Amino acid sequence: MKPQYTLLYRIWHWTMALSVIGLLLTVLLRKTFLSWHTNSALIQSKLAESGTEITAETAKMIAQAIRAPMWEWHYIFGLFLGISILIRIYMMLTKQATLSLFVFLEAPKEEKIQRAVYLFLGFALIVMAISGATLYFYEDLGFTKEGIGWVKELHELTMYGVLGLVVLHLGGVFMHEITTKEGIVSKMIHGDD
Ligand code: HEM
Ligand code: HEM
């Protein structure tokens, strides 16, 4: 049988998978340990204890400055997600991959759910990449901060789709791994050629 898990296929998969995991981790940190809401209140109260009063606005500025180097990674992982999409486009142009929609339509009945997850995941990641890039370059694109509000909402909402689909994917891979002897996780790492 023709090798399915070629080197390029694995490079594409892991560039995408690791960047998505990284992107989700930066969001987790932004919403928890490095949340400016929590940390600005903490900075303000700790300084007040030692007799230094600062305004809520200054405390927010400091908390956001502490968060900034971590959040830079959102953009770095975002760039890698973009690179993985370009690799996939290259694979399709050179006939090394097929559009997920066709794979879904042509899949046998027992593979329909799995292929639907890949189809929606691919779509959600393209929405994330385009909305993310629009948010990053909004000034160059001639948008205002207010005008871009709906893009930010779309970006944040689609994240829940990505999260759900990644959980389904990992559950599916785990089930496949323990119910068959195909060793797909190992093949996704070492290849099958
Ligand atoms: C969390 C981010 C991840 C994303 C976004 C992701 C995405 C995808 C996508 C879109 C496919 C379908 C490829 C195709 O069209 O042929 C796929 C396949 C696969 N992924 Fe992932 N993946 C992720 C993480 C993982 C992890 C952590 C593992 C291993 C534990 C894994 C193992 C696999 C395997 C084995 C396949 C091949 C399934 C098959 O051939 O039926 N993925 N992944
Ligand atoms: C799986 C992919 C991604 C996920 C889950 C994700 C998630 C998020 C979330 C939840 C936010 C809102 C954070 C908040 O305001 O609390 C956000 C903001 C943002 N994301 Fe993403 N993102 C992804 C991909 C990308 C990509 C590819 C880029 C491109 C560089 C990007 C650029 C941005 C930008 C510029 C913001 C606005 C930051 C701000 O207003 O301070 N994201 N992202």
In this structure, the answer to whether residues 152 and 90 fall within a common structural domain is no
| Dihedral, 9, 11, 14, 16 alpha carbons, nearest 10 | -80
In this structure, the answer to whether residues 77 and 116 fall within a common structural domain is no
Q: Which of 62-66, 169-173, 179-183 has the lowest mean pLDDT?
A: 179-183
In this structure, the answer to whether residues 130 and 91 fall within a common structural domain is no
Give pLDDT, residue 181. 85
Task: Give the Cα-Cα-Cα angle 138, 30, 64 (nearest 5 degrees).
Answer: 70
The number of distinct structural domains making up the chain is 2
Range of the domain at 7: 1-97
In this structure, the answer to whether residues 126 and 169 fall within a common structural domain is yes
128 lines ligand 2 (CB under 6 A): yes
- Looking at every residue in the chain, the average pLDDT score rounds to 97
| Phi–psi pair at 191, nearest 5 degrees | 90, 170
In this structure, the answer to whether residues 4 and 93 fall within a common structural domain is yes
Residue pLDDT, tens place only, 54-92: 999 999 999 999 999 999 999 999 999 999 999 999 999
In this structure, the answer to whether residues 64 and 110 fall within a common structural domain is no
Contact between 180 and 173 under an 8 Å Cβ cutoff? The reply is: no
pLDDT band at 1 (very low <50, low <70, confident <90, very high): low
Q: Of 40, 63, 97, which residue sits at a domain end?
A: 97
Q: Of 76, 97, 118, which residue sits at a domain end?
A: 97
State in Å: Cα 155 to ligand 2 middle: 7
What is the mean predicted confidence (pLDDT) over 119-131?
98
Give pLDDT, residue 96. 97
Residue in 69, 46, 72 with CA at minimum distance from that of residue 59:
46
In this structure, the answer to whether residues 79 and 137 fall within a common structural domain is no
In this structure, the answer to whether residues 159 and 185 fall within a common structural domain is yes
In this structure, the answer to whether residues 69 and 106 fall within a common structural domain is no
What is the mean predicted confidence (pLDDT) over 140-166?
97
Residue in 11, 8, 7, 59 with CA at minimum distance from that of residue 35:
59
DSSP assignment of 106-165 equals HS-GGGHHHHHHHHHHHHHHHHHHHHHHHHHTTTTTT--TTTTHHHHHHHHHHHHHHHHH
In this structure, the answer to whether residues 9 and 92 fall within a common structural domain is yes
Contact between 5 and 192 under an 8 Å Cβ cutoff? The reply is: yes
Contact between 121 and 101 under an 8 Å Cβ cutoff? The reply is: no
* pLDDT exceeds 80 at position 19: yes
In this structure, the answer to whether residues 135 and 69 fall within a common structural domain is no
Which atom of ligand 1 has the smallest separation from the CA of 4?
A: 40
Question: Percent of the chain having pLDDT more than 70?
Answer: 99
- Ligand 2 pocket test, pick from 135, 148, 153, 165 with the greatest ligand atom count within 8 Å of Cβ, gives 135
What is the mean predicted confidence (pLDDT) over 8-16?
98
Q: Of 68, 97, 126, which residue sits at a domain end?
A: 97
pLDDT band at 154 (very low <50, low <70, confident <90, very high): very high
Give pLDDT, residue 2. 73
In this structure, the answer to whether residues 91 and 173 fall within a common structural domain is no
Overall pTM > 0.75? yes
